[in-house]
Structure formats: C-alpha cells, structure tokens
Amino acid sequence: MTSTVKSRLLRSGALLPLALLAAQPIAAQTAEPAAPTTQQQPGAEDKVFVGQDGATGWGVPLTDVTPDPSITFGVLPNGMKYAIQQNDTPKDSASIRMAIDFGSIAETDEEQGLAHFIEHMAFNGSKNVPEGEMVSILERNGLAFGADTNASTGFEQTVYKLDLPKTDEKTVDIAMMLMREVAGNLTFDPGAVDRERGVIMGEMRARDSVGLRNVKDQLAFIAPDAPYASRLPIGTTDVLENAPASRLKALWQRYYRPENTTLVVVGDFDVQAMEAEIRERFGDWQGEGPAGAPLNFGSVDLNRATEVEVFTDPDVPYSASISNFRPWESPADTQAERTKSLIDALAIGAFNRRIERIASQPDSVIVGGGMSTNDLRDAALGTSVALTAKDGEWASALTTAEQEVRRAEQYGFTQAELDVQLANMETNFKTAAQQADTRRSPALANAILSTLDDDSFVTTPAYRLQLFEQVRPQLTLEAVNARFNALWDGSADLVRVTSKKPLTQSEQAVLDVYQSAQRAELTPPDDKAAAAFAYDDWGTPGKVVSDTLIEDLGIRQVRFANNVLLNFKKTDFEQNRVRYSVRVAGGQLAFPADEAGLGTFVSSIWPAAGLEAHSQPDLQEILAGKNVGMGLQVADDALVSSGSTTPADLDLQMKLSAAFLLDAGYRPEGDTQWTNIVPVFMGQVRSQPQGIAGLVVPKIVANNDARFGIPDQDVLLQRNLAEAKQVIEPLASSAPIEIAIVGDVDEDKAIAAVAQSFGALPKRELKAPDYSAARQASFAQDLSPRTLTHEGPADQAMLLDFWKTTDDSDYKREIVGSVAARAIDILMRDKLREELGATYGAQVSSSMSDVYKDFGTFSVAATLSPDRLDEAQTAIGEVLAKLRAEPIDDDLLLRARAPVIESIEKSRRENGFWLGVASEAQSRADRLERVREQLDQVKAVTPAEIQQFAQTYLTPNKMLPIRIVSSKLGADGGAAGTQ
C-alpha cells in the first residue's frame, strides 16, 4: 500500500530520475503520445463499445477516432462504471483495478492524509472479513501481499489492484468479494484504526526523502494556487496521529460511492460471465449519506511575472528548470488532436536528443534531463525543461536550458533530427501493432484506467499505426518547429534552481545567470546525416558443430566451431518479441579485488563510452527505428548483455552486442559522465537508511569484502575506463560465450544471426577458469552490533539482522530457505506491523549464492522510528524463538507456500523465466534438473523442515545485528555510512 504523488504534472518527468544501472534501448526514444494500448483491428464492429445516442458505454460522445471494440464498457444503475476485456497474456490470469475518483486534494485541513489512511483500512476489517483476514485470504489463494495485491493513493484517485495468478471460479469469486468489501463494507473499528497509525507513520518516515521535499517545494512554486503542494497524499503528523475513526469513516462515506467508482477487469476469462459477476456483486451497492464535493483542482495565474526560486537541501542534486503555462483546454479525442500530439512528441523528442548530445560530450557538466509538457488538470497546460548538473554547476544547467530552448525557437530543428524521431516513432507503432495479441493484462487494465480523467478513447495498436501512416505527410519539419514554439508560447518563465548549499544573493544570482543567458547570441545547430553502421560484417559466419534438443524443456542447444554456445527456445508468450542474453564468463570473479566499484562503474557507464567507430549519440541516430539496445552488466560470474528485440532486428542486435564487447570505444565522455553522476547518486542514497543499507551493509556482512556493496564516493571516482579496458579486453578476446534467445524466434534465423556475429569470432575457450580463489567469500567473523548513520531525517532508522547460511549447492535446502523466508515474512508482518504498529513493513530474505562457496545469508530488515528499534529487535527475537520451538501450523504454511507455487506456475508462461533457464543451459546443464523439480520441491516443504532450518541457522548467537540511524541524532557511529 502506498501513497503516490501522482498527477499529470508529476508524471511529466520534470524531476529527473537517475537511471544509473539500466541500459536504455536505442529505439523507443520518442514516446508514443498518451494513447492507451489495447488490441483488435481498425474497422472492426464496435457494437459492444457503442452506447446510446452515438456515445460509448461510459457516455463519452464518439468522434472520428475508432475505439477498441474488444472492451465491454458499462454502467450499473447505481452509477458504477466497469470495463471488461478478454486477454490471455499471461494465460489463465487476470488483472483487476478498482479506481475511486477521490484523492488527497479532496481533504480538508483536518483530513490531510486520511485518503491514504482509508486505503490502509481497506485491508483492516469489513462487514464480512475480520481485521487481518483479507491479506490471509489472498495468500491462501496464491496472491503475495505487495506483489499481487496492493493499492495506491494519489492527488485525484485511489486505486486498488489485484493480479490474479489464476482465473478459476473460486479465485475470481474471492477477488470480487474483497473488492466489494472495500467499496462499501469497511468498518473502521477504532482499535484497528489506532493499530494502523504506527504503520502509516512508518510509511511517512520511509518516504520522507529529498525527492519528496523537492517535489513539494516545486509544486508550491510553480502552482501556488493549486492544492497539490499542501495536499501531499501522505498527510500531516498531527492528523495521522489524532484523527478519530469516525472522521475516516465519514470521509470514506462521502467519496467511496458507486458513482465515483470504476472497476476494470482484464484477463483470461469469459466476458459475459465476468459481467454477470460484477452486476451481482456491485448492483446493490448504494452510497451512504451526502456525497462529497467535486474535486477542486485550483488555478494557475497566467499573468504572473517572471519569478525565480532556489531550493536548498544538502541532499538535492544541482539542477535548473524553466517552466511556463498556457490556458487549460481539454478537447475531444479526435484524429486532429492525436495528430497534434504526434507532432508535439516529435518536437519534444528532437529537443531531448539535443540535450543527450550535450550531456554526452567529453567536457560536459550536464548529467541529463530534458523537456516535458506538464498539465495541471482543469487549471493550465504547462511546458518545462529541467536539467541536472554535476555538483556546483547549476549556472551551466540554467544557461544550457535557456539557450537550447531559444536555439530551437529561433532556428528550429534539422531534417536529420526529425528523421530520427520519425523513424523511432514509426517503429514504435509498428512494433506495438505486431505485438498486440500478446500484451499483458496489467498494462491493458492500466490503459483503460488512464482514460478516466480526460474522456479519451482506448484504441488498438493497429488503429494507431493506421492513423500514423495516414497523417505522416502532415508530420513535417515546418509543423514540428511551429508546435515547438507553440508549446513555449505561454506565461512568463518560472525559473527554479536546486542547490546543496545556499547561494550568495540567492534569487538575484539565479536571475543574473538567466538574463545573461538570454543576451547571448546563438548559432544554428549542425546539420549532418547519420553515418553507416560500421559493424555489419564480422567475417566468415561460424559453423555449427553440435546441435541437440532438450525435449522436455524445449531448449535447443548449439555449439559453433569457435566454441560459442547458443541456446534457444521458441515460445508464443510474446508475439514478435525476442529476449536475448549474452554471457561472457568471468564477471566480478575476474575483476581485481583492489579496484572496488569497477563492476558498478562498467555496468553504469558502458553505453556512454560508445564504440571505437561510433559515439553513443551517433549510434542512437545510426540505429534510429531499430529495436536494439546497448549496455553491459557485470554479474558475479559473467559480463552480461541482455534485453529484448524483434525477430527482424535480432541479427543487428547480435552484431551490436558483439561490437560493445569486442570493439568498445572507451571514449573519454564515459569517464566524464561517471564523475558527473557519482556525486549526484551518492548524495541521494546517503540521505536515507535504505541507501546506506545498499551501499555499506553488504560489505560488512561479507566480512569487509570490497566486492560487496558499493564503496565510498572517493573510491568510486577513482574508477575509469582505462582500468575497465585492462580487465574486459582479455575476457572479450578469449573467455567462453554463451548466448540465449527465447521467444517468437525463427530457429534458422537465430542460428544465422549468431553465426554472423559471435560465431564468426576467433576460437575461444569452451570452459572458464574455476576462479577458485575468487569464489571464496565469508560471512562476518565479528558479530558484534554495528551502528551506521545516514544523512537524512532524524526520525528515520533501520534495523537489519543477518545470519550466515550457505551456498545453494543443496537445492532442497535452498527451497526450504525460500519458503521459510515467506513464512517468517508473514510472521514479522503480523508482529511488527499488525500487532505493534511499529513499521510500514518488514523485508525477509533468504539468499544462497550460486557463485561464492559456502556463502549465503538470511536477513530480516525493517524501517522504524529510532525509539522503537529495541522493541522491534525484541519482537524479531520472539518470533524466531517461537519458530525454533515449535513448527508453524498448516494454515501459515499454506499462506507462505501458495503464492510461491502460483508464482512458479505463472513464471513458466513467461519468457523472462525461460531466458534465465536457457542462459546457462550448456555451461551449467546440471542445473536444468532444478527446473524440473522446482514445483515438487516447494510443495514438499513441511513445517518440520522450516523449524529445522530456523534451528540450524537462525539462532541468537549467530546473528549479526546492524542499525542505521540519522547522523542528526548524534548517534555513536561516526560519519554517515561508516562503522
């Protein structure tokens, strides 16, 4: 359960998220305009969709846009809306979403945070489900709390979600019963409300971050007359700690009403039967008492003069943004409006590509960012550009933002820039249409919900492709340049800077930089065409010397003459999509122990370092319109290039992956981006206990082994591409390579794609060194309590307990450990959350290494108030002592095991699972037996085995306790992040 800061403004991307560890696809750089995704073909009859008098089943007047006819829309006599869509990906599963048109902006001063509080109480007692039983019911039926069952509260909407692992009559009946309980049968027992207060406060503490503080300040600056800044969903301490149950219930009664509710169900079921179920369950629901007032979205002053603001926080990245607003309009969803949205997307994409080029220069001080449109519902339409800079360089970011917007306004874009965006956009539409029949139910359900606040239509990918092709002649350079200027033709600019340190003369200093940037003369952009891809020919294709089939798993195994291994599995789970993995043996095992953080460096910066023949920006233009990705991750025992592509682009993807391994560029811009990003990243993660847990704790647990966790900033900044080259080039030239391809694959073409790239390389080793010394890792020898500190709020603390287990060589033991973790997670939730109200939740994990010998850990972690650390530690000890003393009962075993079983069965219908299996199907063939016996092993776990696991490993004398508290408490522990 979460409180989300969710509005059109905040979905816009105005605040730059860091994506340090994810390789980005080259195609799909131009996002498709906000057109929801569904399926079917254009021109199909829309009898199901159309209601009376030329309107949809929800009463939205039809236009020249063709809605998706596969969705059944309806409205019950009580006013509740519903939408139903049959979809069989994943097979035998379903996604349910219930949206209430009610969020935090509906609250009064005395109700701040109660919309989110109500969401929590939906899981804490109703007329037909006692307190604490809702989650238990779901678990008994295979739904894991959090993963499959959750809810979120935003400014304008509260959404409850269930992702059902199966769609048998019993599961569907239970799911609908529970949704009906939430809708109209909550009880708000005062005792239950009081018990939940601590959980809510725990979530407030966990979410009190520099990001949230920055968002609140930003909203107050750019939209002071809108309610968002003063109505963050998490609420205020005073209200949350003191509001009586009667106040929650009264607010619930005002807004949890059928006329405010929409139920969306998408999945593998009979539509007529589902519609009958909805009508039976919800037909008798009636609101209680007077309805709440309509949501008030406030206003925006379009006559406001230019203003400047500086937000200062020691943990915030340096950044600069410029925003302005235009009058609100919400036209009907027509082909003309969709065409305008396409042109807007092209203009924004072309501008953001320029920013990417600037950020990728060897001497750049810009980390990243870009332009976005920001709509404040019913108040104004907005446009902004936001750039994040290296530490201290806010002025450069502001100057760049102002001048690049003005350069685009003055000179426009080039035809070459537009061609890149058009190619990507066309590919996105074509790919979506080709993959339409195997899109996932959760995405389809969310797409339907996304139309609620603007009366837009859900259309099919085929229709959107058809529309794009129809209006393509209108997507001209002249039109794109005109729309870019229109997006910036609004109110006076609002200029905002974020800084770690106070600025001298603050606002005036920012204004001076901004006005100086405005006075500078600008030159036109360069106009050059993209070069040809330099890695299309790798020589004589490799020959297949071995070709076998594992019949029961459907995995075909191929070995080329140069010893490159290929495993592939054809499935029908994802139409026109192929997942791939390239593993080069070695990974972290081959990296020098005295160069801590080098693996993190490579994983984070590899695309930016480019290729010998092409920089990263050049590649993005050369490969425009192609579904390929670039990047390299350093795993424990391999260098891994993985992602997804299409059958048509598989050959290109293999050549590109080979290039990033064999002809990496090691360009200086990679080092530059690293030195720019590290301080930004470290400043954010050190400001919360969870960040310190990820940075420092793994090294402590591993007996101060520098290969675990992430080193301090000064150590990270020492890492560079010259070091990476020394390690990676030997692996690239001779280490074993194993490739996996899974999905909608033509087997002959897959073999040919690998033969023409990796198969054409010189002969290499078939087996990797055993890396015996590098595989040694040990649990902490010193088990004395540790206290670490973070740099964030004083009321945030974290408790982490670790126990040594072992590696995963005994599969039965690993399975018992994983089920034990699920059982203990439930026990900890019942104790720490439900009984004590001490924390938002506990995280329990069993991790047994498949790389490091005799190395494994079991852990329990919880985020708490510092004054409850001792209480929580005692509770954890009591739970484990009871588990060691007596076996769990059958009901708890069922609740722990059923979600694991359902997850396994569901995973067998997913390409991601099979890619993991195929990725080492030859080099670690002995592990394939685990795939065959996994379900049986889980089903065979007994309470006695879980008890024995706890008695063997989870004893007090084997526990390593770690606490993380704020440095603002003056706690013993020295500098933040140290022992």
Q: Which of these, 322, 327, 325, lies nearest to 307 by C-alpha position?
A: 322
* Residue carrying the six token digits 């023409």: 756
Name the residue with higher pLDDT: 32 or 562.
562
pLDDT at res. 34: 36
Per the omega criterion (within 30 degrees of 0), is the bond before 90 cis?
A: yes
* Model confidence band, residue 970 (pLDDT cutoffs 50, 70, 90): low
Cα separation of 550 and 920, whole Å? 13
- What is the rounded CA–CA span in Å between residue 582 and residue 906? 25
Residue 978 binned pLDDT confidence (cut-offs 50, 70, 90): very low
Single pTM value for the model = 0.91
Least confident of 120-124, 267-271, 750-754: 120-124
Q: In this structure, are residues 379 and 223 in contact, taking their beta carbons and an 8 Å threshold?
A: yes
Average pLDDT over residues 111-130: 95
| Cis upstream peptide for 224 (omega within 30°) | no
Beta strand 94-100 with 149-153 is: unpaired
Structure tokens at 630: 């670039």
Percent of the chain with pLDDT over 90: 86
The predicted-structure confidence for 506-538, as pLDDT tens digits, reads as follows: 899 999 999 999 999 999 998 877 789 999 999
Tokens of 565: 């291994």
How much is the average pLDDT of 129-155?
Answer: 84
- Cα Rg for the chain, rounded, in angstroms? 28
| pLDDT, tens digit (0-9, with 9 covering 90-100), for 450-480 | 999 888 999 999 999 999 999 999 999 999 9
- Tell me the C-alpha distance between 746 and 748, whole Å: 6
Q: Which one-letter DSSP state was computed for residue 27? A: S
Where residue 35 falls among pLDDT bands split at 50, 70, 90?
A: very low
More confident residue, 198 or 785: 785
Instruction: Give me the mean pLDDT over the 856-883 stretch.
Output: 95
Q: Is the pLDDT of residue 549 over 50?
A: yes
The tens digit of pLDDT for each residue in 591-633 reads: 999 999 999 999 999 999 999 999 999 999 999 999 999 999 9
pLDDT at site 52: 52
**Residue 645 pLDDT grade (very low, low, confident, very high; cuts 50, 70, 90):** very high
In DSSP terms, which residues pair with 803 in a beta bridge? 858, 959
Please give the backbone phi and psi of residue 368, each rounded to the nearest 5 degrees, phi first. 165, -170
- Residue 149 has a pLDDT of 66
Alpha helix segments (H runs only) across 435-459: 441-449
Burial category of 724 from C-beta neighbours within 10 Å (exposed 0-12, middle 13-18, buried 19 and up): buried
Q: What is the mean pLDDT of the chain?
A: 91
User: Which pLDDT tens digit goes with each residue over 180-237?
Assistant: 999 999 999 999 999 999 889 888 888 888 999 999 999 999 999 999 999 999 999 9
Residue 959: enclosing H or E segment and its boundaries? Answer: strand 959-966
Distance CA 821, CA 827 (A): 10
Whether 350 and 406 have beta carbons less than 8 Å apart is answered as no
Asked if residue 865 lies in contact with residue 799, where contact means CB atoms within 8 angstroms, the answer is no
User: pLDDT value at position 453?
Assistant: 86
What are the CA-CA distances from residue 248 to residues 28, 217, 257, 868 (Å)? 44, 28, 15, 26
**Per-residue pLDDT tens digits for 383-438:** 999 999 999 999 999 999 999 999 999 999 999 999 999 999 999 999 999 999 99
On the question of pLDDT at 47 being above 50, the answer is: no
Q: What is the pLDDT at residue 979?
A: 37
> What is the structure's pLDDT at 148?
52
Of the candidates 390, 307, 319, 378, the residue with the CA atom closest to the CA atom of residue 678: 390
- CB atoms near residue 642 (< 10 Å): 20
Whole-number Å distance between alpha carbons of 630 and 656: 7
SS3 annotation, 648-672: HHHHHHHHHHHHHHHCECCCHHHHH
What pLDDT was estimated at residue 1?
Answer: 55
Confidence of residue 17 (pLDDT cuts 50, 70, 90): very low
- 453: alpha, beta or left, given left = phi > 0 and alpha = psi -120 to 50? alpha
Residues 5 and 103: beta-carbon distance below 8 Å: no
For the segment 243-301, what is each residue's pLDDT rounded down to a tens digit?
999 999 999 999 999 999 999 999 999 999 999 999 999 999 999 999 999 999 999 99
User: pLDDT tens digits for 727-744?
Assistant: 999 999 999 999 999 999
CB 414 within 8 A of CB 525: yes
